[in-house]
Amino acid sequence: MGLSSFLWNCTKKFATAAVITVTVSDRFASVVPVRGGSMSPTLNPKSGSQMGDFFDDYVLVEKFCLGTYKFSNGDVVVFRSPMNHKETLIKRIVALPGEWCGDHYNHDVIQIPPGHCWVEGDNADSSMDSRLFGPIPLGLIRGSVTHVVWPPHRIGAVEKKTPPQGLSSVLE
């Protein structure tokens, strides 16, 4: 009787912890891995040993911003790819609804429609972003990246920097 009681108590505690973990990661925050070099050097900087080697950063994604869709230029966000909803991408917001955004490569200038934003990777040569698929709906965003939590030598806040993507920078 003692062993079955012990197992039942362990099972209840494990199930409770699992429900709490799922709720927290779904509603408040989660930790996600960053793959590839599209956000290098901000995320996954090159390790230096070989040209193609990147560290795999793990980042903290807070989800409080989803309640009001309050984002600002320079925020690094996690979102579902508009081309493949099973794929998750991490990019930096360059322009918000109503703002004008320019593409340095073909000098197109567009106004971001309501409910959308323009996202780009920090490493333009290795990034599939809004230059390929256009503005993304804000509803595809799953959270805002705030900190690198792994590896230990990279722990810290993710810098919020605003790239010069305004209309004046394209016309120069």
Catalytic residues: 38, 91
Neighbours of 78 (CB within 10 A): 20
Query: What span, in angstroms and rounded, lies between the C-alpha atoms of 136 and 69?
Result: 13
Query: What span, in angstroms and rounded, lies between the C-alpha atoms of 62 and 81?
Result: 19
Tokens of residue 28, six digits: 């408040």
Query: What span, in angstroms and rounded, lies between the C-alpha atoms of 99 and 112?
Result: 6
